[in-house]
Amino acid sequence: MNEYLDFAVRVVNLTNAHNQWRRLNAVNLIASENVMSPLALKVYLSDFMFRYAEGKPFKRYYQGTRYIDEIEAGTQKLVGELLGGADVDLRPVSGTIANATVFRVLAEPGDSAVIAPVQAGAHVSHTKFGTLGALGIHHIEMPYDAQNMNVDVDKAVKLIEEVKPKFIVLGGSVYLFPHPVKELAPVAHSVGARVVYDAAHVLGLIVGGTWPNPLDAGADVMTASTHKTFPGPQGGLVASRNKDLFKKISKVVFPWFVSNHHLHRLPATAITAIEMKLYGQQYARDIVNNARRLAEALAAEGFKVLGEALGYTKSHQVLVDVRAQGGGAKAATLLEQANIIVNKNLLPYDRPEDVKDPSGLRLGVQEMTRYGMGRDEMEEIARFFREVLIEKKDPKEVAKRVTSFRSNFLEVKYALSEKDLGVTAHTLLDLSK
């Protein structure tokens, strides 16, 4: 018995240590992460996390869903409004599950899909190595335009016309500039193909108006995550303005890919959506400005930052080539020792086999922006990078100053509070007192 109690103590201590490190000591630059507001977190920690609600709101296979039905329906309507008028399904529990649902509706095993090239940011779920392959759908990559760090539009047009795929996929997980939806959607439609846009990383930028809305540009359906530049709980969604297509997709979410859809996500998603309605435009502008400033500052400190001729970035992401500093794996490890959290990443000219030690780092500024950091702080972060990776200072010594730096940015911004609403959000812990 003692060994289990010892492990329980260890679990609590590790969790506390993680919370303190990530929330009080570290600068997090992982491009796929963010933090919820305190109010969103409180409604997240609700009894909903224990309950089931298979099916659609007001048409459930379980009783006891009267409150979640109203929240789910209202949140889907609100997110649809944020996207300029779309039907939205929030039941996919991740962006990858949203992709799987859409791909399965649009193609049968053995059919072909044309995807953005991996060099231009395609997510693994778009490829034969991930969800597309698991569904037996053949993936064909569009040609890459190295000069513009994007899809080669002219060659992609010819490829789509030749292959006549069931659908094409744009959007992704590592991309600095918008993919050419407006240019390729008419071509895809001319051969009977649908256009899928994976907005997992840029949903918050789309809602905030700093990134083109793919539904405006001709995409038939959009998938997304709700926890990256859109700063909500982990989850996914599908959105479309094509009602017939949306109905087909919605019928496949459950029971093919999702049973219970983790109901505690929904109140937190609702609060986050309202925050984005109120503050999203400023938040998105600040994210993009911070990303560009971080890129400029890193370049000024002596780093090779990709995309210089194009203005470095139009998203929340920055890509840095750190081969001169020992490669991505080494650089990411040293920075973590200095309380700066990043991820190593393949760059467009890397080989697939370089995945364990790629040339680059992928940085994202959305979380630190939500904590209130601005242009001056981006310059300070770049100086920390220089000290650790170029000047080779002891990262543990730099970590102390990073913690001191971070101590000035502990409050989540662009957020609603209980005081704003004149209500109190009770968690289960509150109710047990």
Mean pLDDT of the chain: 95
336-371 tens-digit pLDDT = 999 999 999 999 999 888 889 999 999 999 999 999
The total of other beta-carbon atoms located within 10 Å of residue 148's CB is 15
CA distance 417 to 124: 37
The total of other beta-carbon atoms located within 10 Å of residue 190's CB is 12
pLDDT (average), residues 54-70: 92
Q: How confident is the model at residue 225 (pLDDT cuts 50, 70, 90)?
A: very high
pLDDT of residue 139: 92
CA distance 131 to 117: 16
80-94 tens-digit pLDDT = 999 999 999 999 999
Q: Domain-by-domain residue ranges, the chain?
A: 52-262, 284-414
Q: Return the higher-pLDDT residue of 128 and 280.
A: 280
The token duo for 396 is: 């543990």
Integer CA distances (angstroms), 315 to 158, 174, 175, 210, in order: 28, 10, 8, 8
Q: How confident is the model at residue 430 (pLDDT cuts 50, 70, 90)?
A: confident
136-162 tens-digit pLDDT = 999 999 999 999 999 999 999 999 999
State the residue for tokens 């994210």.
Answer: 287
Q: E strands, 53-122, where?
A: 55-56, 59-60, 87-89, 112-115
pTM for this prediction = 0.96
pLDDT of residue 87: 97
pLDDT (average), residues 247-264: 94
Integer CA distances (angstroms), 319 to 312, 322, 328, 343, 402, in order: 8, 10, 11, 10, 21
pLDDT of residue 433: 57
CATH of domain 284-414: 3.90.1150.10
pLDDT of residue 321: 98
CATH architecture, range 52-262 = 3-Layer(aba) Sandwich (3.40)
Q: How confident is the model at residue 1 (pLDDT cuts 50, 70, 90)?
A: confident
Q: How confident is the model at residue 214 (pLDDT cuts 50, 70, 90)?
A: very high
pLDDT of residue 432: 61
CA distance 116 to 170: 5
CA distance 34 to 25: 16
Is 68's pLDDT higher than 90?
Answer: yes
Is 2's pLDDT higher than 90?
Answer: no
Q: Are 135 and 189 in contact (CB under 8 A)?
A: no
Alpha-carbon Rg for the chain in angstroms: 22
The total of other beta-carbon atoms located within 10 Å of residue 146's CB is 11
